[in-house]
Structure 1
Amino acid sequence: MLDFTPVTVNRHSSLEERQFALTQIYRQVLERQPYESERKTIASLEKDFLKDKIGVRRFLKQFACTDIYLNQFYYSLSNVKFMDVCFKHFLGRAISDHQEMKFYNTILTKQGVHGLITAILDSEEYRKTFGCFTVPYPRKDNFYPSPEAFLESKFLNEEHIGQRGNSIPTMYWRQLGWTCTNGVCRHPEVNEVLNTAPKTTSKEIQSLSTNDLLELLKTSDVTTAKAIVANLSSSQRQELSVALRH
């Protein structure tokens, strides 16, 4: 990251420079290059970018609402995990806390994907960090709100698509006490979870939806699963019981 040079285009950029920027956009936002069949559906959008009719930010606003991006991330992920990857793709960091997650989750719920993407790309943070013409990238800030924020961004930016499942956002992995190394999380001993952060573990488990709990239990060993169930509220137990019967 120390040697990383942000990719920026302007009205004086050559076609080759814009083509390179387009490649970097897909690397950051789609986490791969579009397939040939997919490029046909965004040919007009790419043409506008390459001819300098639109900048990076406007390109992202439109591309993030295409079936290419939505099929890759939105339809296959839970809402909270989708927000997690949106922050990774467009702000180069993880969601900082529950307040930020709640704020953007409300936008996603009430305004849909377009509202969420617009809110992120129109945010003051995005404008100050990337402006209209710089391709977003994994950030290495000089200051983080907390050590947890630093670790969560590091893990999120290093993970591959689906590497830690499709439901649980980065923030929950840490708060549940699971150990992460190089973007990969492994189940800790249950005693370590309970002794390290018993209050936080219980609180975070009780904030999970039924679908998130199911995903979490699927990837847990027997001992860890028992510890998770022990921290469930009575309503969660009932909802989980109904879900398992179906």
Structure 2
Amino acid sequence: MSEKPFACVPKKGVAYFGTSVMSLRMEKKSVPVCILVRVSTNRQETDRQLSDLTAYAKEHGYIVAEVCEEVVSGKADESERTGLQRALELAKAGVVKKVLVHEVSRLARRNSVAHAFVEALVACGVSLYWHSQSIETLLPSGKRNPAAGIMFSLLSEMACAERETLIERIRSGMDEAKRKGKHLGRPKGSVLTLPAMLETHRDVVRLLKAGQSVRHTAKISGKAASTVSRVKLALKIAA
């Protein structure tokens, strides 16, 4: 009797090498994520943050559901943080399972805002990942990551302190310049015509026309509120 060629017939409940790996990969669902990037002024760019986080998501097979981009001070009130609010909306709706940020300071430089955001995400079962330390708030089991919690508290405090230190240095530098008799700001006697002012401050004009308040426009553009107010008046006159 001639022998029949060996045939591997899969049986129910038995995993075979090769086909099992492929099937597991096919069954594994990609995790939907949201990328949150922030800069304080229009003079700064989010390119590096976005590039690093996009590469990380691609490397781990995540699906980027949406990118929330903000140009706003890290000390802004929660009501002014449209990016944070949008990310939270996606979390509450179950659209994303993770929120990716580059570092804790990009999330906020106010402890109350940063911690409230994380707690809201945890309540939705959504994890916050920050790239600078490659750590996230939830473990694969869905439970809180104790190490991440401790690190987040420390880094959020440092982010707040960094801004206060920067402000103090700026004030100290200005006081020293005044002590030496140096003039700060625009040269005395210089006056811009209305067209020249609107041309010089095109970023302010764009923000004001978009409906932003004077205070918010000043924060985004990095220009003094008095300058924004003058531009707003020039717009009314030129209209």
TM range (shorter): under 0.3
More strand by share: 2
Larger Rg: 2
More helix by share: 1
**TM-score when normalising by structure 2:** 0.25
**TM-score when normalising by structure 1:** 0.24
